[in-house]
Amino acid sequence: MPGSNDAVRIRSSEGSPRGLQRELGDVSLKWSPGSAMVVVMASRGYPGAYKKGTVIRNLEEAELVSPAVKIFHAGTALDSNGEFVATGGRVLGVTAKGNDLEEAAARAYDAVEAIDWPEGFYRRDIGWRALRRKQNTGFAAAAAAKKNA
């Protein structure tokens, strides 16, 4: 979801209503430091045929993994028992902030693991390119420092 990580990192709320009105020319946004990651949980079978009405539990517990975790609902509803159920293919955006991408990823995946939704699935490789790039950069910097020592 391009841009979705940025929305969590915006510290000022002035941009949202003005953005809807396409009046962002004079808005100064304030960004939170660090990184954010979103892991999308989808209904099993998505993007093909998937079952609607499957119960999703432990969402509150998942958000308690860290104060930096927020779950965005995209395809959920409350059933007659007051339980969250899946109503679409892409159902939850489990979002976490961290000091760096590794911390954000760990928090997001910890929160995903806390969710009880047997009929849901998620990718386990979110952010892998950026994480690999950072690791390679770190290794290159360490090698250069060792060479210059």
Q: What is the pTM of this model?
A: 0.74
DSSP structure string for 17-28: HHHHTT--TT--
Q: How do residues 11-38 score in pLDDT, each as one tens digit?
A: 555 545 544 455 566 667 777 889 999 9
Contact 120, 44 (CB under 8 A): yes
Helices (H), the chain: 4-9, 15-20, 59-63, 101-114, 128-148
d(CA 1, CA 140): 30
At 93-116, the pLDDT tens digits run 999 999 999 999 999 999 999 999
Domains of the chain: 1-32 (no CATH), 34-148 (3.90.600.10)
Q: Is the dihedral of CA 54, 76, 121, 61 positive or negative?
A: negative
